[in-house]
Amino acid sequence: MAKATPTKPALWSRAKSEAKKKFKVYPSAYANAWAAKWYKGKGGGWKGGNNKVKKKNASKK
């Protein structure tokens, strides 16, 4: 599985820096989600990778 990488690394670095200022604990799920939303709002994007969780086979007995 390929790792998702930011299309604008400098902007992503700034987003992480802003999150570190805003949240007491970094990295955390809330801080990373906030940083990703901020980054995408400023025009950033992602290439490669997939963050979807694979479903387990439910019909297995």
- Selection from 16, 51, 45 nearest residue 32 by Cα: 16
Strand, helix or coil for residue 51: coil
- pLDDT of res. 58: 60
> Which domain, by its residues, includes 18?
8-42
Count of structural domains, the chain: 1
- pLDDT of res. 23: 96
58 within a domain of the structure (yes/no) = no
Residue 59: CB partners within 8 Å, gap ≥ 6? none
Question: What count of residues does the chain have?
Answer: 61
Q: Report the alpha-carbon angle 32-48-34, nearest 5.
A: 15
59 within a domain of the structure (yes/no) = no
- pLDDT of res. 49: 77
Q: Is the pTM of this model over 0.95?
A: no
Q: What percent of the chain has pLDDT over 70?
A: 87
54 within a domain of the structure (yes/no) = no
